[in-house]
Copies of this chain bind each other. A is one copy, B any other.
Amino acid sequence: MFEQLRGPVQDLPRHARIRRSGDRVQGVFVLLRGWVFSSVELPNGQRQILKVHLPGDILGAPSIVLPRAMETLSAATLVTVAPVPLSAFGVLQAEAPRLMASLFLSSQQERVMLSDRLAAVGRTPAAQRFAALLLQLHDRLAGPATGTVSLHVPLTQEDFADLLGITSVHVNRILRQLLSAGLILRRQYDYTFDPERLREFSGMPRREWIRNPAWLYPAPGQA
């Protein structure tokens, strides 16, 4: 559906700004390839990364209720994105109400993830948040798994710092702490760990998601 409504595809290098905080909101973007950060910049020059977006994600949706964008969208890797104008939502709303309901649901899912982050940043030490971040990335990239897993995470320690709400110096100390505790292994940007042990350490609950709620898909096959 979005494919018909979206604009021309663009390739952008790492560190490129797809949209800056404060820009007039023209619409949203669809991420087709690569990783994108959505972040907030603070008056003192620091930034807090709100979310790492993976391919398939819709970028910049929260700002559709604002005249000027709240978040900066920046390319964490080489990326491919496509713009989607605001008018697309008008089309969806009129012609695909069920898809609109499904967008509503996915934004609730985003609220759950943001809430978990808020609780973690407010209440748990940085080492546990780092563990939780690795786990969450693995879940989103590969789904639940058992036994030791490997994960390629093309993020610098500076990126981790902005995600976790700490400094890059401290990221390094924590990483070293997890390495010497044997909780993770690392070679370059490849991380290896046991999800079970890491989850226990992180203290984060495992979340199950309802994919097709009964109220939206009344009886399988009738749709």
Interface residue from B70, B117, B213 paired with A86 (Cβ < 8 Å) = B213
**What residue in chain B is nearest A71 (Cβ atoms)?**
B115
A123–B50 touching, CB < 8 Å: no
Task: Tell me the bound Cα distance from A96 to B102 in angstroms.
Answer: 15
For this chain, the copies found in one complex come to: 2
Which residues on the B side are within 8 Å of A156 (C-beta)? none
A65–B97 touching, CB < 8 Å: no
Which residues on the B side are within 8 Å of A86 (C-beta)? 213-215
Count of residues in A whose CB is under 8 Å from the partner chain? 59
Interface residues of A in 164-210 (CB under 8 A from B): 164-165, 203, 207-210
A90–B165 touching, CB < 8 Å: no
A111–B46 touching, CB < 8 Å: no
Main SS at interface, chain A? helix
Interface residues of A in 37-72 (CB under 8 A from B): 40, 42-44, 46, 48, 50, 61-68, 70-71
Task: Tell me the bound Cα distance from A207 to B22 in angstroms.
Answer: 11
A124 at the interface (CB under 8 A from B): yes
A116 at the interface (CB under 8 A from B): yes
A15 at the interface (CB under 8 A from B): no
